[in-house]
Amino acid sequence: MTNVRAGKSETGKLHQYMEIGNELRRRITLGQYLVGSILPTEGMLCEEFTTSRHTIREALRMLTDAGFIERRQGSGSHVLTAVPSQRYVHDMWSLDQLFQYAVDTRFIINDVKFAVPENSMLSDVSGGKAEWLIVHGLRLERDEDIPICFSIVLVNRDYASIAEELETGSGAIYRKIEDKFDIKVSQVIQDITITTMPQRAALVLDKTTLDVAVQVRRRYLLADGTVFLVSVNQHPADEFSYTMQLRREGEN
């Protein structure tokens, strides 16, 4: 029992569970505990460090949060990696803020139909020639008539009945679907490319001089990997600016 409080007097002021957590992390980093293998059980660690189970569990929670291990009831603490990936966090109130669509824009629908979309927009999304609900529209600054971008939204057929409610309210379409069908976006994949502005969009946005556009495509996925909505926004290049802020998480 002499070293129960060793952490405080010797190395400064670390708590027991932190010292143990750091030691275990060191062992993983040094390959003493191999990736793919299983850590000693809680009981064994209690013995080795002469401490209570709760303390060991707190130490293991550190490793879990940092991404080193995964714990499975009945199975053990599995070592996932010796070099966990950094996690950078994007804080948002809603996905709308992924772009600046938050509250200051409105969406004007030009056309709604049910058809097979052009391939370029659904590359690597829908395996075949399924029909999607296709909404063409224009996004404007609220209370002004200044256009921001030309928009196409594709909705998976399973949720196509949302078409009836597109004119009401002001929120984003993906959000209306979330509410109506009680589903949740689990992942978003966004890509940004440069294209030439389609004729149709150029006309509406009154851009005759510069036909370069920034195309931002976002795919909204459910937990099972299903793409339930794809949005494609085309911005005049001369007005495009996109900022994102990533904060490093934890202290890894």
Residues of this chain that interact with a second copy (CB under 8 A) are 83, 85-95, 98, 184-194, 212, 214, 237-238, 240-249
Q: How far is CA 82 from CA 28, 39, 79, 105, 178, in A?
A: 6, 13, 8, 46, 38
Residue 129 contact partner, candidates DNA, a second copy, none, CB within 5 to 8 A by sort of partner: none
In the Cβ-directed half-sphere of 248, how many Cα atoms lie within 13 Å? 6
Q: Which amino acid is at 137?
A: G
Stated as kind and residue range, the H or E segment containing 229 is: strand 227-236
Q: Which amino acid is at 195?
A: T
Within 10 A of 39 (CB to CB), how many other CB atoms are there? 20
Q: Which is nearer to DNA, 15 or 176 (CB)?
A: 15
- Rounded Cα–Cα distance for residues 139 and 149 (Å): 5
Q: Does 53 bind DNA (CB under 7 A)?
A: yes
Residue 94 contact partner, candidates DNA, a second copy, none, CB within 5 to 8 A by sort of partner: a second copy
Q: How far is CA 218 from CA 57, 134, 176, 195, in A?
A: 40, 15, 16, 16
Residue 27 contact partner, candidates DNA, a second copy, none, CB within 5 to 8 A by sort of partner: none
Which two three-digit tokens encode residue 229?
Answer: 């909505």
Q: Does 215 bind DNA (CB under 7 A)?
A: no
Residue 72 contact partner, candidates DNA, a second copy, none, CB within 5 to 8 A by sort of partner: DNA
Least distance in angstroms from the C-beta of 81 to DNA: 18
Q: Residues for the chain: how many in total?
A: 252
Least distance in angstroms from the C-beta of 28 to a second copy: 16
Q: Does 62 bind DNA (CB under 7 A)?
A: no
Q: Does 15 bind DNA (CB under 7 A)?
A: yes
Binding residues for DNA, total number by CB under 7 A:
26
Q: Which single residue is written with the structure tokens 């979330």?
A: 178
Q: Does 4 bind DNA (CB under 7 A)?
A: yes
What distance, in Å, lies between the first and last C-alpha atoms of the chain? 31
Q: Does 68 bind DNA (CB under 7 A)?
A: no
Q: Does 54 bind DNA (CB under 7 A)?
A: yes
Q: Which one, of 164, 161, 165, 137, lies nearest residue 149 by Cα?
A: 137
Residue 4 contact partner, candidates DNA, a second copy, none, CB within 5 to 8 A by sort of partner: DNA
Least distance in angstroms from the C-beta of 74 to DNA: 2
User: Is residue 98 a contact partner of residue 188, using CB atoms and an 8 Å limit?
Assistant: yes
Tell me which of 29, 43, 144, 194 binds DNA, using CB under 7 A: 43
Q: Does 58 bind DNA (CB under 7 A)?
A: yes
Q: Does 39 bind DNA (CB under 7 A)?
A: yes
In the Cβ-directed half-sphere of 154, how many Cα atoms lie within 13 Å? 24
Q: Which one, of 233, 231, 234, lies nearest residue 218 by Cα?
A: 231
By CB under 7 A, the residues from 69 to 128 that bind DNA are 71-77
* Interface residue list for DNA (CB under 7 A): 4, 7-8, 15-18, 39, 41-44, 51-55, 57-58, 71-77
